[in-house]
Amino acid sequence: MSGRPSYLKGFLYSTAIMMVGYGFYKYTVPNRDEFVATLPEEVKQQLVQHKDEQRRRNQYILDQIRQNAASDRPAWDVRVYPTASDDAAAAAQPSQSQSS
């Protein structure tokens, strides 16, 4: 039965093609550190600021999840708790009086 397809041969050829593609990828695409090293200094500073802000946002969300998980309320009754940074921001803003 010489007309029968060789699955092993097809598997080996497809694996070889994928490995060559992966090798080209690793050779041509720089990693994150190499890419950041080529950027101008002000863009690097923006990246650091963005990373710090994202870390603060993630920590805020994690704190809210922990506080809601520790409460006795059901899971669908989610509340946003004020944090110390929220209190400081509210104190820094001038109070607005409503006139009728």
The identity of residue 16, as a single letter, is A
Q: What number of residues does the chain have?
A: 100
In the chain, the N- to C-terminal Cα span, in Å, equals: 95
Which tens digit of pLDDT belongs to each residue from 46-87? 999 999 999 999 999 999 889 888 888 888 888 887 776 666
Q: What does the domain layout of the chain look like in residue ranges?
A: 9-38, 39-71
Which tens digit of pLDDT belongs to each residue from 15-56? 999 999 999 999 999 998 899 999 999 999 999 999 999 999
Are 78 and 69 contacting, i.e. CB atoms less than 8 angstroms apart? no
Q: Rounded to 10 degrees, what is the CA torsion of 54, 56, 59, 60?
A: -110
Q: Return d(Cα 8, Cα 22) in angstroms, integer.
A: 21
